Amino acid sequence: MTAPSTHTTKPATGIPALLKTGFINAVIALVLFSLMVGIRTEAGSEGQLTYWTRFGELASLVAAVFGGSIVIELLRQWIGPTGAEKLVPPAVQSGMSFVGRYLAPALLIFTLLVPVIFYNQRYILDLAILVLTYVMLGWGLNVVVGLAGLLDLGYVAFYAVGAYSYALLATNFGWSFWICLPLAGILAAFWGVLLGFPVLRLRGDYLAIVTLAFGEIIRLVLINWQTLTGGPNGVSGIPRPTLFGIPLNNSDEGLAAKLGIEYSPTHRIVFLFYLILALALLTNWVTIRLRRLPIGRAWEALREDEVACRALGINTTTTKLTAFATGAMFGGFAGAFFATRQGFISPESFTFQESALVLAIVVLGGMGSQLGVALAALSMIGGFELFRGLETYRMLVFGWAMVLIMIWRPRGLVGHRAPTVYLKKAQAISSDLVKEGHG
Amino acid sequence: MSGERILDVDQLTMRFGGIVAVQDLSFAAERRKITALIGPNGAGKTTVFNCITGFYKPTGGAIRLTHDDGREIALERLNDFRIAKQAKVARTFQNIRLFPGMTVLENLMVAQHNMLMRASGFTLLGLVGVPAYRDAEKRAIDLATDWLKRVSLLDRADDAAGNLAYGDQRRLEIARAMCTEPALLCLDEPAAGLNARESAALSELLLSIRNELGTSILLIEHDMSVVMEISDHIVVMDHGVKIAQGTPREVRDDPKVIAAYLGADEEEAMAVMESGS
Ligand SMILES: Nc1ncnc2c1ncn2[C@@H]1O[C@H](COP(=O)(O)OP(=O)(O)OP(=O)(O)O)[C@@H](O)[C@H]1O
Ligand SMILES: [Mg+2]
C-alpha cells in the first residue's frame, strides 16, 4: 500500500488520450483544409467556374496532422520541460554555464570583426545588418514584454513611427540623420505613451488585442494619409547617413576622396553595419543599466505581481508607461536606421508579420534575457536565410524548427534570470519561478 | 481606549452587490500598539484591510490616519499606491504575494522603490551613475540586510523568493512591508500555516517591531495563541459587524465572542462557559 511513489505523477499518457488529441487535431485539420485543399476551383477556358476535388491530398494532410500531433504529444512527454532538465547531468550544466559566461564576449568580438572577415561578401554583410536590426528590435521589445511582462503585439507601430519620422523630416526639411535619430526615438516614445494610456487598465489577452489593433491603425494611417506619407507609394529618396556630414559616396566631398582611397560601395555597407551595431549596443547597455535601477526593478516586480507593487507604493501606471515609452524609443531608433538604410519606405514594411517576428524572437530568446534575444534573432533571421534553398518548404521547415525548440526549451533559449543586485553571490534564478506577466 | 490614535475607522460599510461584507464598523487603533482584528471565516476582516489599504473603495464611512506630526489623511479618498506611499500604510496578504522570480534581496529593494526613485533623479541621474544614487542604493541594501537579520533570512538573501519555505516567505513578506518604513503595518493572518515554533518566533518579531521601532500594527489572525499573547487591543467581527472589543482578557471571556466562534447562540455559549468554570 505504501509503495514509494516516485515520479509517477505524469499527465494522462495513455494511448486513448493520445488518440483523442490526434483525433481532435485531425478533425480541425479536416474542417480547415476541406475547402482550402479538398476543392480546387479555377476559371475555365470560357470564363466559367470549373472545380475538381482533391480528396487524396486532403486525406494525406489530415493523416499527417493526426500522426504529427501524436508525435508532438509523445515528444512533449518524453523530452518535455521537466524531463529535459533532469536528463542533463550537472557536469554538462556547469559546462553550459561556462559557455554562457564567455559566449556573450566572444559573440561581441566576432560581431565587431564581421566586416573585416566578410569584407568581400556583400550578401553576408547585408544579412548581418538585417540580423542586427532584429537584435535591436528584440532588445527594445524585451523591455516591454520580457521585463515589464506587457504583451505588445503592435511593436511594429513604433518601428514605423521612427522610420517615417526620419524619412519625412529628412526629405521635407533636409535635416541630417544625426538630428533626426533622437527625434525619431522621442516621437516613437511619445506614441508609446499615447498607446499606453488607454491600454493601462487592460491585461493579458485584451492588452494583446488592443496593441495589435494599434499597430494596424498606424499602418492604415500611413496608407491613407496620402498628402503626408505618400500613401502606398511610400517615401523615396531618403538621404543616406553621413559620417558627421561627410557623405559616403563617390563624389569629391565623399569620405573615400577625402581619405585618398579608392571608392567602394562596400564602405557604406560597413558604415551601416557599425551604425546599427552601435545602436543595438546602446539599447543593450541602457537596458542592462535600467534593470539595475529602481525603475527596472519595478518593471520586473510588475511582471511578478502587480497587486504587491501597489501595496508597496509603486505607481503602476507610470511604471507601465515608462516601459512602453522606453521600448518604443528603441523601436523608433531602429526605424530611423531602417529608413536610412533602405532609402525607401512604404507601409508594406510595417505589417503585423514584423511584430510577430520580433515577438517570436523575444519569446524564443527567453523572456528578459539579453543574450537569449540576440541568439534568437541570429537563429531566426539567419535560419530563415539558411532554409532559402528549400523554397516553398521553407516556412514549413522553419515552423517545425520553432515547434521543436519550444518543446525542448519552453522558456526560451536562455531559461534563467540574472539577479540585479546581490549580497554575496549572484545566483541565476530558474525560469520556473519567474512569472511571464499577465499584461 | 485612551492612548493616542493612529487609525480611526468610522461607520465603515462595504457592499458587493447584494452582499454586505462590512456594515457600520467603527474601531480605532492606537499608536505604538498591536490591535488585532479577529472573527470567524467570512466575517469581513480582509475586506476591512482592503478598504484601509485602498484596494477597495468603501461604500460608506470614513477611515482616518493620523501621523506623528498630527497630519490627518482620509484614506478612503486615496488610491492604493498613494496610501502606501504618502500615508505610509504597509500590508501583507492572506495569500502571500512576493515577487517569486526575484531574489530575497531584490524583493526588499523593490519595497524601497520610491526612496530610490528620488535618489536616482527619476532614473536619469541613476543612468549616468551619480555618486548620490550609489550611496542611496548602498543605504537601501543596508536596510534590507538589517531586516534580513531580524527575520533570520540573511543567508538566503541571494535565493529566489519563490524557493523559500512557506514560513520563510511569510517572514520575508513582513520584512518587505517594513522596508517601506511604514507608520502602520497591516498583517493579514501572518501565522497561517506556521508551526508552533515559527508562530512563537513571529510573536517575538511583531513585539520587537512594536517595542523597538514603535510601529503600530493592525493584525488579522486566527491563531489565538499569537493574538492573546501580543495584542494590546482586540476587535471582534462577525458577519461584517463588530460584536465585541477590549483587552485579550475581556474578549476571551465575552460570551458573544465564544458564541460566534462556536457557531452557537449566546445562551448555549453561556451554558458551555458556566459548566466549564
Ligand atoms: N471582491 C469581492 N466580491 C464579492 N464578495 C466579496 C469580495 N471580497 C469579499 N467578499 C465577501 O465578503 C465576505 C467577507 O470576506 P472576507 O474575505 O473579508 O472575510 P475574512 O474575514 O477575511 O475571512 P477569512 O478568515 O476566511 O479570511 C465574504 O462573504 C466574501 O465572500
Ligand atoms: Mg481574510
A388-431 residue pLDDT tens: 777 677 777 777 877 877 777 777 777 778 888 888 777 777 77
Contact: A312, B180; criterion CB under 8 Å = yes
Please state, rounded to an integer, the average pLDDT across all residues of chain B: 86
Dist CA A420 CA A296 (whole Å):
9
| Mean of pLDDT values over A301-320 | 91
| Mean of pLDDT values over A231-238 | 81
Residue B84 contacts A where some CB pair is shorter than 8 Å: yes
Q: What is the pLDDT of residue A85?
A: 46
Q: What is the pLDDT of residue B93?
A: 93
Domain residue spans of chain B = 1-88+182-277, 96-180
The tens digit of pLDDT for each residue in B212-221 reads: 888 999 999 9
| Mean of pLDDT values over A339-349 | 88
Higher-scoring residue by pLDDT: A298, A244: A298
Share of chain A above pLDDT 70, in %: 87
| pLDDT above 90: residue B126 | no
Q: 3-state class of A326 per DSSP?
A: helix
Does residue B38's CB lie within 6 angstroms of at least one atom of ligand 1?
no
Q: What is the pLDDT of residue B178?
A: 93
Q: Is the domain B1-88+182-277 a CATH 3.40.50.300 member?
A: yes
pLDDT band at A286; cut points 50, 70, 90: very high
Q: What is the pLDDT of residue A102?
A: 76
Show the beta-strand stretches assigned E in A314-390: 344-345
Does residue B21's CB lie within 6 angstroms of at least one atom of ligand 1?
yes
Dist CA A21 CA A292 (whole Å):
45
Dist CA B238 CA B260 (whole Å):
7
Query: Which range (A1-5, A165-169, A269-273) has the least confidence?
Result: A1-5
Query: Which range (A1-5, A277-281, B74-78) has the least confidence?
Result: A1-5
Of B138, B162, B165, B139, the closest CA to residue B152 belongs to B165
The alpha carbons of chain A give a radius of gyration, in whole angstroms, of 25
Residue B26 contacts A where some CB pair is shorter than 8 Å: no
Dist CA A314 CA A306 (whole Å):
9
Ligand 1: residue whose CA is nearest its atom 9: B47
Dihedral sign, Cα of residue A339, residue A341, residue A344, residue A347: negative
Please state, rounded to an integer, the average pLDDT across all residues of chain A: 81
Does residue B46's CB lie within 6 angstroms of at least one atom of ligand 1?
yes
Q: What is the pLDDT of residue A82?
A: 47
Q: What is the pLDDT of residue A108?
A: 81
| Mean of pLDDT values over B243-262 | 83
CATH second-level architecture of B96-180?
3-Layer(aba) Sandwich (3.40)
| pLDDT above 80: residue A332 | yes
| pLDDT above 90: residue A51 | no
Instruction: Please state the pTM of the whole predicted model.
Output: 0.81
| pLDDT above 90: residue A83 | no
Residues contacting residue B200 through CB under 8 Å, at least 6 positions apart: none
Across the interface, of A290, A423, A431, the residue whose CB is closest to B158 is A423
Dist CA B235 CA B26 (whole Å):
10
Residue B109 contacts A where some CB pair is shorter than 8 Å: yes
Contact list in A for residue B159 (CB cut-off 8 A) is: 427
Dist CA A377 CA A135 (whole Å):
5
What are A237's three cell numbers?
Answer: 529618396
Ligand 1 centre distance from Cα of residue B45 (Å): 8
Contact: B103, A427; criterion CB under 8 Å = yes
Question: What's the complex ipTM?
Answer: 0.88
Does residue B105's CB lie within 6 angstroms of at least one atom of ligand 1?
no
| pLDDT above 70: residue B276 | no
Query: Which range (B75-79, B171-175, B190-194) has the least confidence?
Result: B75-79
Of A208, A210, A152, the closest CA to residue A327 belongs to A152
Q: What is the pLDDT of residue A438?
A: 59
Q: What is the pLDDT of residue A86?
A: 45
Q: What is the pLDDT of residue B267?
A: 55
What are A186's three cell numbers?
Answer: 522621442
Residue B127 near residue B222 (C-beta atoms within 8 A): no
Q: What is the pLDDT of residue A423?
A: 81
Query: Which range (A420-424, B92-96, B128-132, B240-244) has the least confidence?
Result: B128-132
Q: What is the pLDDT of residue A383?
A: 79
pLDDT band at A79; cut points 50, 70, 90: low
Dist CA A349 CA A137 (whole Å):
14
